[in-house]
Amino acid sequence: MSMKITTLVLATAGAALIGSAAWAHHSGAMFDRTHTINLDATFLAQVYTNPHVWISVVGKPEGTKKTAVRWDIETVGPANLTRVGITKDTLKPGDKIRVKINPLRDGRNGGSLVSLTTKDGIERGFKGGPEESVAPE
C-alpha cells in the first residue's frame, strides 16, 4: 500500500514539473499583446523548424522616419504557417513585405508575428492565435 502511494505521489510530481516546463516554453509574457507594430520591411532569412519558425527582416515601423534595422520575429510552427499559406518557399531574401507584430516588452527589435503581407498584397497570419487565422480565400 505504501509503495502505491509513493508511486502515485512521484508520478503526480513528475507530471506537474513536465507541465510547468511546457507552460513556460509557451508563455508569451515577453511580448506586448496590447500593441502592434507594422513594419515596412525587406525579408532577410528564416529558420523554418519546430517548435517556432523565426524570420529576420530589415525594416522600420510604418510612418516613422527611423532608420531601418534588423528585426527578429517569432512565429508559430511550420504546420500552422502552412495552413495560412506561408511555406518555407513563400519568402525569398530581398522580398518587400509588411509585417505586423506584437513587440517585445523590453524594447529590443523583435516580436511575435500577427500577420505578414507578401509582395502579392495578400495578408496571411493570425488575429489572436493560431486558431484565428487570416488566410487567403
Per-residue model confidence (pLDDT) at position 19? 44
- Give the residue-averaged pLDDT of 37-41: 95
d(CA 43, CA 98) in angstroms, rounded, equals 9
What is the band of 17 on the pLDDT scale with cuts at 50, 70, 90? Answer: very low
Mean pLDDT score of the chain, rounded to an integer? 81
Q: Phi and psi dihedrals of 78, rounded to 5?
A: -55, -40
d(CA 123, CA 36) in angstroms, rounded, equals 15
Residue 12's Cβ-count burial label (10 Å; 0-12, 13-18, 19+) is exposed
Q: What is the pTM of this model?
A: 0.74
Q: What spatial distance separates the first Cα and last Cα of the chain, rounded to whole Å?
A: 60
- What does the DSSP 8-state code read for residue 79? H
- The answer to whether 121 touches 54, Cβ cutoff 8 Å, is no
- Give the residue-averaged pLDDT of 52-67: 93
pLDDT in tens, 67-104: 999 999 999 999 989 988 899 999 999 999 999 999 99
**Superfamily of domain 37-134 in the CATH hierarchy:** Nucleic acid-binding proteins (2.40.50.140)
Q: Is 6 helix (H, G, I), strand (E, B) or coil?
A: helix
What ranges do the domains of the chain cover?
Answer: 1-29, 37-134
